Amino acid sequence: MAGSAERGGDRWLALAGAGAAVVVAIFLAWLILLPHAGTSVNAAQAAYAAQALPAAQPEPVQPAPARQAARTAESVSAAVDRTWIARVGARTGIPERALQAYASAALVLQEQNPACRLGWTTLAAIGSIESGHASHGGARLSAAGTAEPPIMGPLLDGRDFAGIPDTDGGALDGDASWDRAVGPMQFIPETWARYGVDANGDGVADPQNIDDAALTAGRYLCASGGDLSTGPGWSAAVYSYNHSHEYVRSVLSQANSYAGLSAAAES
């Protein structure tokens, strides 16, 4: 829980941060999205070498002022090739509406923060672990991308989980005493207040909406890790999302799986 592409058809192999201290190899697909209707969109493969996982929470980075997505939901959706979504969704098991949101967020961040180099596979891996792509508790995504019924995490009252006193008067999580993580990407209300963005242009930054949640998660990861094409940057970003080395390994494993399946779908 969060709290505490340019040229289609090309395939790139990038090694970053390799050296004697390298202990984990990350294989992630970085989606390059084309805005041209009917153009096949390929997933470029990037191999990243990661150094040891961070031993402590990285210093928080003050996020940039909230910005509206560079495109409306309709134009972003049009920019993500529907054939690619169907093919990769079928191969990976990611629901098409969720995959559209992860890919769209990667496209928007490529425009807004190109130095971050966040791949859609990392967002998809986090979405899978946090809520089963918005299926937790029997929820489903509407055509507009909103989780129905709303997804609420467990009460953070210090018993089974960390204690986080209420930060939003219950506005997002329905509890005025303790916080809960909310939505498909499981944001604590205080974190959502700092990073939440309206990605689909409907005038509301809604953590229950997969478009808003995926882009917000991307902004949070970029602010926490900087350049996610480096091993240290990637691992620090994911560790900031959930302060657990096991969580980082789980996201890594799932992202690797999606990268391999996506590459197979494109072959």
Give pLDDT, residue 13.
20
Neighbours of 173 (CB within 10 A): 26
Q: What is the spatial distance between Cα 78 and Cα 76, in angstroms, rounded to a whole number?
A: 5
Tokens of 250: 């789980």
Q: What is the spatial distance between Cα 134 and Cα 208, in angstroms, rounded to a whole number?
A: 9
Q: What is the spatial distance between Cα 135 and Cα 195, in angstroms, rounded to a whole number?
A: 23
Range with lowest mean pLDDT among 75-79, 138-142, 157-161:
75-79
183-206 in b/e form (b: 16+ CB < 10 A) is: bbbbbbbbbbebbbbbbbebeebb
The amino acid at 262: S
- Within a domain: 11: no
> Do 195 and 173 contact (CB within 8 A), yes or no?
no
Give pLDDT, residue 77.
54
Predicted confidence band of residue 126 (pLDDT cuts 50, 70, 90): very high
CA atoms within 13 A of residue 196's CA, in its CB half-sphere: 21
- Within a domain: 195: yes
- Within a domain: 91: yes
CA atoms within 13 A of residue 99's CA, in its CB half-sphere: 22
The mean per-residue pLDDT over the stretch 45-74 comes to 37
Domain span holding position 200: 24-266
What pLDDT, in 10s, does the model give residues 8-49?
222 222 222 222 222 233 333 333 332 322 222 223 223 332
Give pLDDT, residue 17.
25
- Within a domain: 222: yes
185: helix, coil or strand? coil
Kind of pairing between the strands at 140-141 and 24-31: unpaired
- Within a domain: 13: no
146 Cα distance to chain centroid = 16
Domains in the chain, number? 1
Query: For the chain, what percent of residues have pLDDT higher than 90?
Result: 49
Give pLDDT, residue 78.
54
- Within a domain: 18: no
- Within a domain: 8: no
Work out the angle at residue 225's Cα, subtended by the Cα atoms of residues 119 and 179, and round it to the nearest 5 degrees. 95
H/E run at residue 48: strand 43-50
- Within a domain: 232: yes
Q: Name the nearest CA neighbour of 37 among 79, 74, 77.
A: 79
Q: Tell me the pTM.
A: 0.75
DSSP state of 142: -
Residue 54 clears pLDDT 50, i.e. is over it:
no
> Do 101 and 211 contact (CB within 8 A), yes or no?
yes
Give pLDDT, residue 197.
94
Burial category of 25 from C-beta neighbours within 10 Å (exposed 0-12, middle 13-18, buried 19 and up) = middle
Give pLDDT, residue 141.
96
Tokens of 233: 């940057």
What pLDDT, in 10s, does the model give residues 160-185?
888 888 888 888 888 888 888 999 99
Tokens of 9: 């058809």
Q: What is the spatial distance between Cα 240 and Cα 56, in angstroms, rounded to a whole number?
A: 9
Tokens of 248: 């980082």
